[in-house]
Amino acid sequence: NVSSQTGLICLDILKDQWAASLTLRTVLLSIQSLLALPEPNDPQDAVVAKQKMAEPELFERTARFWTQHYA
């Protein structure tokens, strides 16, 4: 749910569900949850979502590589 090209995060509270009552803590917890449990049926990046569903082992290796090199 994060674009591999732009880094855009597909999270409704960062778009149309934003409210002034949201705290930074709430936003960060939402992002953490999204990263821990990605939703491949509603993807930001269709190629990555397809890989997660079709080849989960390759998806995990790729995610680990990107994390080690870019995080």
Catalytic residue, candidates 10, 14, 31, 34: 10
Annotated catalytic residue 61: no
How many angstroms separate the CA atoms of 54 and 59, rounded? 9
1: DSSP letter:
-
Q: In this structure, what are the phi and psi dihedrals at residue 23, rounded to the nearest 5 degrees?
A: -100, 165
Catalytic residues, which ones? Answer: 10
